Structure 1
């Protein structure tokens, strides 16, 4: 997966940049159709924000944002939100079937004595 980072009106520490790219690479286990990612670091006054846009094959892009006073907590917040978005989308695709018939059928027929 291709990861592109952008810093707007700020200087991002190198450890935060490497952590961001490593963590976004790991998100491909939740959705194998991920093609590329863009991470946007922005500073407005003393408020830092991190936004990620993940493009997926055959689906709309996933967008998550995190805000805090430092880049590291904002990055962690954004990653948690992105994980939630990707796992929710994955579960909607895989959990669309109903329960198995074996789960619906009672394995032991009830005797008439137990009904009384």
Structure 2
């Protein structure tokens, strides 16, 4: 199966890409950076660094976190985070649809 993956960069920094969006979706489903990282087979540190990098590259953060404690911490997507995921998935779908014929032609060139 051939996939089209979209990355939006600012200079050398990957501002938004499939890994960060997958992480945001996992975080939204689990409510925790630790659980989201685990579900993606990623270390907590890597997940935290990606979220930190993403939050710093946006005008408003995509993720809000609460420190741990007796009740435990947690993380949630902000409204901007939800909008980011929705827009990214929309861009991905639009690009895939627009390039469908070219992708099919490219698939024909690939060895089985």
| Structure (1/2) with the larger strand percentage | 1
Give the structure-2-normalised TM-score: 0.26
Which structure has the larger Rg? 1
Give the structure-1-normalised TM-score: 0.26
